[in-house]
Amino acid sequence: MNRRKAAIAAAGTIAAGALTAGLISVPSAFADGTAAGAAKDRRHGSAEARGVAKAAARAARVGVDWKDCPADWGLKAPVQCGWVTVPVDYAHPDGKKIKIAVDRARSTGGKSERQGSLVYNPGGPGGSGLAFPNRIPAKNPLWAKAATAYDFVGFDPRGVGHSAPVSCADPQEWVKGPKPDPVPDDEADKRAHRKVAEEYADGCKERNDKALISSLTTPNAARDLDVIRAALGDKKLNFLGVSYGTYMGAVYAELFPGHVRRMITDSVVNPAPDKVWYDVNLDQDIAFQTRWDDWKKWVARHDDVYGIGSTPAKVETQWKKLRATAKKEPLGGAVGPEELLGFFQSAPYYDSAWAEVASAWSAYLKGDEKPLVEAAGADLSDKAGNRADENSNAVYTAVECNDAKWPRDWRTWDRDNTRLHAKYPFLTWSNAWMNYPCGVWPFKQHKPTDVNTRTAHPVLMISATRDAATPYPGAVELHKRLKNSRLITEKDAGSHGITNLKNDCINKRVDAYLLKGTTDPKDVTCGPHATPEPEKSAKKATAKAESASAALPALPTGR
């Protein structure tokens, strides 16, 4: 899930469909005309259901006033921007409202090819999807076919970016390093980390409107998604969700099963209520260790290029040595073990980061620490970026803490993370401290949505067996819960956001689903995408390290 230096990955997939989108009439929140839709209405709270219906009807009448994007949004024509108004509390749709920022790039095909809007969420909680429409003017080849049929639509979820943003700490102080080593040496270290987490939770309470931050939940994000659908003039939703976006999509499917036209969930979060969110994080610690070990094997295979270690064990020894050095004397005065982890974890996240992380490390071992310090350290001059990072973390914290009940007894956290750290040390304690605000959360914690439904059209699910951020069993679990879904498994691969990678076995099925609405009669297993290749010489690898930080994909703020 959310990893601290996270900006949000633009990795993702495309979703498309078959019907021509048109303006909707005043819709019911479950306007599929089926008994199942009515049952969902009663099951998930009539007050909120009526509120969504009212907000969606209002949005359908108003639509979106598309204009050139504000100059400081960094989005240029032909991308257009606008707003969709939603209630803070769906049980009181005429009460306080906020505006959700949306953007779009128009489809490239003719009128007969158009199939509506493809709405995107990249993950988080806390990620902005506003970069997604840029895939059309950029002529991304993986998205070219889908672009003929769909407007690509991104949005900032409530609390994120331009959509009534929240904050729980001063961004400049929040990013400043070096921070304490996340792995505690003793009980005093644990108390210090708990204090920092408690202060962050207090900041969430003190710095925000209570009604707004309490409203940051996945069910409300799903309701917002349905209002956006209505504002776009689409009778049913075409949705691409990556990472946490898969959970948003799953909850949408539960609340609005008749509104699903095309939905792709890429890198799937486990939706089981007893997993959300405490156990999901524990499972992630195990999976990150597995993918970290994969990367060490790759680095060792290319020791002729990087010179880090000729075996995984030697690479691990070098990692421990680097951590110990940075703990004793932070690199560049600002990069300690915590900052190193924030950079190195991008390798277990994304294969595309393997070479860049190894190159920066290699340069450091050869006497040039600049690439590593610049990649791992905070840039205090980037105030806008730091503000966005802290905002993303604040939303992550609020959504996960609000969505589910977390252990309130520190002894539970201590027991579970001590046990896991013994076998899976790469991420465990860092992940625990990032999530511990939920153990002292000052707002109501809800019961997770029990996803168990059959959608109007099959959901296409895609996950990799060695994904670190969203362990593969989560995809199996959601597959069971979405009755007519289809699962594509990328075997022996682990990059996150796999539908934005070149793998013909996956890409052609995504296009078929989006353009024709077709899926295979059975689940499919695909081989892995191509393994990354390093630069062919140490000289080139060292040179590439100079641009490592800029070259890395942004980390998702969530699973």
What is the Cα gyration radius of the chain? 23
Q: How confident is the model at residue 45 (pLDDT cuts 50, 70, 90)?
A: low
Residue 35 in this model has a pLDDT that exceeds 90: no
CA–CA–CA angle 83, 396, 98 (5° rounding): 25
In order, the DSSP letters of 431-494 are HHHHHGGGGG-SS--PPPP---B--SSPPEEEEETT-SSS-THHHHHHHHHBTT-EEEEETT--
- The CA distance from 357 to 16, in Å, is 35
Q: Is the dihedral of CA 403, 408, 410, 413 positive or negative?
A: negative
Residue (of 440, 450, 427) closest to 559 by Cα position: 427
Q: 368 is written with which tokens?
A: 């040039």
Task: Please give the positions annotated as active site.
Answer: 243, 467, 496
Task: Tell me the pTM.
Answer: 0.91
Q: What does the pLDDT read at residue 426?
A: 98
Segment 387-409 mean pLDDT: 98
- The CA distance from 224 to 121, in Å, is 12
- The CA distance from 453 to 40, in Å, is 9
Q: How confident is the model at residue 189 (pLDDT cuts 50, 70, 90)?
A: very high
Residue 26 in this model has a pLDDT that exceeds 60: no
- The CA distance from 280 to 435, in Å, is 11
Q: What does the pLDDT read at residue 121?
A: 98
Q: What does the pLDDT read at residue 158?
A: 98
Q: How confident is the model at residue 496 (pLDDT cuts 50, 70, 90)?
A: very high
Q: Which residue has the tokens 């007894």?
A: 409
Contacts of 57 (CB under 8 A, 6+ apart): 26, 27, 230
Mean pLDDT score across all residues of the chain: 90
- The CA distance from 266 to 470, in Å, is 10
Q: How many CB atoms lie within 10 A of CB 67?
A: 10
Segment 285-299 mean pLDDT: 98
Segment 85-94 mean pLDDT: 98
Contacts of 140 (CB under 8 A, 6+ apart): none
Residue 167 in this model has a pLDDT that exceeds 50: yes
Give the burial string for 492-503 (b: 16+ CB within 10 Å, else e): ebbbbbbbbbeb
Residue 468 in this model has a pLDDT that exceeds 80: yes
Segment 403-411 mean pLDDT: 98
- Alpha-helical runs (H) found in 112-182: 144-147, 171-175
Q: What percent of the chain has pLDDT over 70?
A: 88
In this structure, the chain runs to a length of: 559
Lowest mean pLDDT among 21-35, 52-66, 251-265, 535-549: 21-35
Residue 323 in this model has a pLDDT that exceeds 50: yes
Q: What percent of the chain has pLDDT over 90?
A: 87
Structural domains in the chain? 70-155+221-276+453-526 (3.40.50.1820), 175-215+294-447+529-558 (no CATH)
DSSP state of 165: -
Q: 559 is written with which tokens?
A: 């699973």
- The pLDDT tens digits of the residues spanning 59-89 come to 999 999 999 999 999 999 999 999 999 999 9
Q: What does the pLDDT read at residue 116?
A: 97
Contacts of 16 (CB under 8 A, 6+ apart): 115, 118, 146, 149, 150, 238, 262, 513, 514, 515
Q: Which residue has the higher pLDDT, 431 or 22?
A: 431
Contacts of 185 (CB under 8 A, 6+ apart): none
- The pLDDT tens digits of the residues spanning 338-391 come to 999 999 999 999 999 999 999 999 999 999 999 999 999 999 999 999 999 999
Q: What does the pLDDT read at residue 16?
A: 26
Decide: residue 267, CB within 10 A, 0-12 exposed, 13-18 middle, 19+ buried.
Answer: buried
Residue 12 in this model has a pLDDT that exceeds 90: no
Q: What does the pLDDT read at residue 39?
A: 42
Q: Which residue has the tokens 């598309």?
A: 66
Q: Which residue has the higher pLDDT, 54 or 31?
A: 54
Q: What does the pLDDT read at residue 535?
A: 75
Residues 24 and 234 sit within 8 Å (Cβ to Cβ): yes
Q: What does the pLDDT read at residue 546?
A: 55
* Cα 520–chain centre separation: 27
Residue 539 in this model has a pLDDT that exceeds 70: no
Residue 541 in this model has a pLDDT that exceeds 80: no
Q: Which residue has the higher pLDDT, 18 or 470?
A: 470
